[in-house]
Structure formats: C-alpha cells, structure tokens
Chain A
C-alpha cells in the first residue's frame, strides 16, 4: 500500500469520526440546546403625583387610565394535584408610587364573585410577593428556598368586612390563614379585621406567618365578571431594619403575583402563580421627599418575642408529625401557606417509646448533607430526606429503606439499626448525570465487620511471616527436587 493511500485512508477515517462526533455533540440533548430560559419581564412603577384613599371612585383614578396594563402570565401550581383547577390565566397589573406610598391595581377575569367560605368554595384573593434577599434570587420563585419573601395578600372576605360590601352572609367571618387541604374549624373573630389585606412573611416555602400589624391597605371591586383590586402600602416601611418588610427603594425588585379563584376551590397552595417579574421602582421627582406613611393600620411595633416563639414551636411540632406516607403538607413555593401560628395546627401523635432519632438529610445534586452519619447499633432511626433541587431518593444498603423526596415532598422512613457496620446509602431516583455516584455512608457502630477484617488481615500476615521463617527453616538442608 502506498504512502498516499495510507494518508487518504487515515484522513477519511478521522474525518468520518470527527463528523460523527460533531453530529453527536450538536444533538447531545436531542436537538438544539439553547433558547429555553427567558429573562424575567419588567414592570415599571413610575412616580405619579397622586394619592389615593381607596374610595370607591379610586378604581377609575387618573393614574390607572394613564398607565398601560402589564400582563402577567399566571400558571398552574404544581404543589398539589390536581394541578389544573380553575386557572386564572392572566393578571393585569398597573403600579405607581407617589413618593410615599406604593399602589398596585390588579385586574383579572372571574365569572363568580366569591367572598365567603363555604363547602367547597373559598374567597377570591390576589397577592404580590417581594423577594427580601439582598441579591437577585438565583432560582425561579419555586426554588427560592433561601430567600424570604414578603407577601401582600388581599382577600375578598376580609374586603367584604372592612368595606361592608353586602353579599348576603353574616359579617362575622373567621380571620384564618389559608388552610391547605380541609377547611378546618376556625375560631370566629369577635372584632372585624382592620384591613382587607394580610401582610405575610414567608422565610421559606411551607412556612407563612402573618405579621401582627397590618400595613397594607386594599380594596376590591367585582364588576361584570372582572375583579379590580387596589393594594397600597408605604414605600418604606418602618422600622426599616426589621427585614420582614420589603423596602421599595428605587431600583429593581424581584416580584411575583398570584390569584385565587375561590369558586373553583382555590385556597392556600391551590392558586395561580407567576414566575419572577422585575419591578422597576423609578425614582421620585426631585424635591419630593419620602416619609413614613401615616396610613398605619393596626398595632405597630417590633416583632413580639412571644409570637416568634409560638411560631417556632409550632414548626418544631410539625417535624415530628410526618409519617411514612408523607401526609405532611408539602413544602411548596413561597405562596404555599400552612398554618404556623397557634390556631389550626394538628395535635402531635403521642410519642412512641423510645422516640426515634430523627436525622434530616438534605439532598442536592450530587451529594447528601450530611453525607456521613454515625449511629449506634440498636438505635431507632428516622431518616428524613429533604431535596433542595430535584427529585432525589435514598436507598440504604442492607436495610429496607428506599425513600424519595422532591422540593415539595419530604421522604421519611423509620428503622432499627440492628446490623452493625458501614452501609452505603445511594440515590434511587435519576437526578442528573452523576446520579449513580450520589452516595453517603451510614456507620452503625460498632463496626464489627471492619474490626474482624483488621484482625484477619493482621492474622494472615503474621501467619505468612511465621510460615516464611519457620517452615523454610525446617526444609533447610533437604536436597532440592530433581
């Protein structure tokens, strides 16, 4: 074969391979891998010199006419199945501030005005949530685990009481926080609410706490199959350092919206939600100062210590209630609200003897935290698997444990660590490329197997040394085999 033929053959081979690699690379995700992530849209909040007192005529105030509506696409939530209860497909939002207070107008279609709780129907509501994290949230709102949000929620039933809208039912309605599954029994309020809106803080999905003071004023009007709701709050909430209130300083704020269509069964986590929107608060015109709003509703003051402790205790109690079928309320997005205050929590089960030791393992791609756990032989262990990003599993070698978790569902299993030794637990739900290597170790002390192995190893070595030294000595002097 001539050199030229060799060169041609080699070149052809390499070219064919390179072509195949290129094709494979271009289609590594089955097709073009770009263009799937959209940047968040921007909603402007300009300065308009106009103060509204939330009278009935304010729905047609001049600023609303001048501002173009910003259309926020709302989506089904995925916290609770079925997902597709009545979707509110779109919210039209207008926003402005007058240097002192921020105003929002929400508009959305709703065939049925729902202002009460009843069997299977709930009040309509809408809300806006502001991220309290100092830097832009890295994840979409569903993943805002580490960033608390401040939620301004307007509810039609509160609105009815505050603004005395006659819709046929008694004025005494409970001021409950939203339930998740069943309408629980609520203590009836004796005093009417002071605001149609609740001011809530959610440190992370699954926990929502109302603030004892209400700073947010709101009013809603239903007409011809549409809701219009105005929300108002001071731009700068005092005290500023509390970090439970969003400070709407000029600049970009990560915001999201939600709407509840009560007659289709929306309440709590069942709602229509939006992805992040960037609220661009534009600076006030020069000369206009900003002062604390005088429109304070309700008591003001620092976060009461007692209330904070109650909230914490309620939260701790919840973590002991979970059972293996994960009937616990899922951890959902920021708007997923569960009762954390004293009212409405479920009583804990009577403790079993002995109480299992609860070990919480957080899972993210591709490690567990903690990834090495030590327990004593005979201990009763409850493993709680929490996922920080996608669905993960935990399969424990040697024990009958295989649990799954995703950001909305915690996996739990209880077992007795009766086998000593080191056991690997590994991820059992494909979670990414390194899924097969997502591993942790459970050490059940004492690690007898390893100790036996060490003894065996050293024993064999000693035996080898002994054999070498003594057996060969015996055969010394024997004639070598022919």
Chain B
C-alpha cells in the first residue's frame, strides 16, 4: 500500500476515533475561555455545590458558570450581587457575571426544592483584596 493511501486511511481512522474526543475537549475549552469559575450544582447528599467556596478578587470580573450535573432542578442565587438564576434544570447550565468591589464573604444558595437536605445547599464567595 503506497504512502498516500496509508496516510488517507490513517487520517480517516483517526478522524473517526480520536478526533471526536479531541474536538469535544477543544470546543469546550474554547467556549469556556472567558469563564473564571465553574460551580457544579448537586444536591447536598451528592456533594453539594462544587466548589462550595469560591475565591474572587476585588475589582476583577467573575464570570461564573453554574452547571447542573444532578438529576433534579436546582437554583442559584447570590443575593449580595443581585444574582438569581431561577430554575436551573437538570442537565443545563448558565453563566452569570459580577464584579465584586470590596473584600468580604457572600453566601449563595439553592432556591429550588431539590432534596431532603435542600436547606444545606449553600456555599460562599470569598472576595479578597487585590
């Protein structure tokens, strides 16, 4: 089998095996370039928000993606910054932005009935001085 054919066949095989995986990783990386933090929403018995404590810097934009990897609807609200995403359905994600100005600790929590331990579904954003 000559070289051209070999290269073509190898390309075809790679395109159908490795390429989809690389493309997925690559596309996701490109899409999340601007994201500064990602929070996974899960019911407390399945691990709660991950991470539960986010660190941010005063004056720097926070572009936060909340991704619901759980099988129930969750919510996310960060009242000190006026953020409330409403219903975040299972398997969906959303992006919120805010720029903290002063150091401090701010609580975020879930606003949708999601589990027996729903009231424990909360975390904090800790803003440190630049």
A–B direct touch, CB within 8 Å, in complex?
A: yes
Using a CB–CB distance below 8 Å, which chain A residues touch chain B?
A: 29-38, 75-76, 78, 82-84, 87, 138-143, 273, 275, 387, 389-391, 406-408, 429-433, 435
Given contacts A83-B111, A391-B72, A431-B72, contact A140 B120 (CB under 8 A): yes
In this complex, what residue of A is CB-closest to B110?
A: A78
Alpha-carbon distance A165/B111, docked complex (angstroms): 38
- On chain A, the residues within 8 Å of B62 by CB distance are none
Alpha-carbon distance A32/B42, docked complex (angstroms): 11
Among B77-121, those with CB < 8 Å from A are 77, 79, 84, 87, 89-91, 109, 111-121
What are 16 A-B contacts with C-beta separation under 8 Å? A29-B40, A29-B46, A33-B47, A36-B43, A36-B44, A36-B120, A38-B120, A75-B109, A78-B111, A78-B113, A140-B118, A390-B114, A391-B87, A406-B113, A429-B73, A431-B72
Among B42-68, those with CB < 8 Å from A are 42-50, 52, 67
Interface of A is mostly: loop
CB pair B50 A31 closer than 8 Å = yes
Interface-centre pick from A84, A390, A431 (highest chain B CB count, 10 A): A390
- On chain A, the residues within 8 Å of B117 by CB distance are 36-37, 139-140
CB pair A435 B71 closer than 8 Å = yes
Min distance, Cβ A356 to any Cβ of chain B, angstroms: 27
Total chain B interface residues with beta-carbon distance under 8 A? 38
Residue interface bits B6-35, CB-to-A below 8 A is 1, else 0: 000000000000000000000000000000
Alpha-carbon distance A36/B116, docked complex (angstroms): 12
B128, CB-defined interface residue at 8 Å: no
CB pair A36 B47 closer than 8 Å = yes
- On chain B, the residues within 8 Å of A35 by CB distance are 47-48
In the A-B complex, the 3 residue pairs with the smallest Cβ-Cβ separation, listed nearest first, are A36-B48, A84-B79, A30-B69
In this complex, what residue of B is CB-closest to A405?
A: B113
Which of these, B67, B72, B112, B115, contacts A30 with CB under 8 Å? B67
- On chain A, the residues within 8 Å of B121 by CB distance are 36
In this complex, what residue of B is CB-closest to A407?
A: B113
Contacts beyond the supplied A38-B120, A431-B71, A431-B72: 7 A-B pairs with Cβ under 8 Å: A29-B69, A29-B70, A37-B48, A82-B84, A83-B84, A84-B79, A390-B114
- On chain A, the residues within 8 Å of B77 by CB distance are 76, 83-84
Which of these, A34, A75, A390, A408, contacts B119 with CB under 8 Å? A75
CB pair A433 B79 closer than 8 Å = no
In this complex, what residue of A is CB-closest to B86?
A: A81
Which of these, A37, A78, A138, A389, contacts B120 with CB under 8 Å? A37
- On chain A, the residues within 8 Å of B49 by CB distance are 36
Alpha-carbon distance A36/B46, docked complex (angstroms): 7
Given contacts A30-B50, A31-B40, A83-B77, contact A433 B71 (CB under 8 A): yes
CB pair B116 A140 closer than 8 Å = yes
CB pair B47 A29 closer than 8 Å = yes
CB pair A432 B46 closer than 8 Å = no
Alpha-carbon distance A406/B119, docked complex (angstroms): 15
Which of these, A33, A275, A408, contacts B113 with CB under 8 Å? A408
